[in-house]
Amino acid sequence: MSIATVDIAPLAEAADPAPVLLTVEEAARCLRIGRTTCYGLIRSGELESIDIGRLRRVPADAPAAYLARRREAQRAA
């Protein structure tokens, strides 16, 4: 699996187009972390998210971008 893509197939039906935004729970599943940890990443600014009214959504490419930044930081250390 490439860093630029995250497999979200289990999150949506095969006939549905790929989602542009993920719920926090879906983003957490993509990263294989818990919901609370995901909210912590959002709160700290490490994982991009947006508000839509009272909803919190994560852009579909944000988990892959977060992972790429973490991998780069580990290589630099």
Please count the CA atoms within 13 angstroms of the CA of 44 that sit on its side-chain side: 9
For the chain, the first-to-last Cα distance in angstroms comes to 24
Determine the pLDDT at residue 16: 76
For 45-52, which contacts have Cβ atoms below 8 Å and span 24 or more sequence positions? 49/24, 50/21, 52/21
Report the predicted TM-score, pTM, of the whole model to 2 decimal places. Answer: 0.76
Domain boundaries in the chain? 18-76
* DSSP secondary structure letter of residue 12: S
Per-residue pLDDT reduced to its tens digit, 31-55: 999 999 999 999 999 999 999 999 9
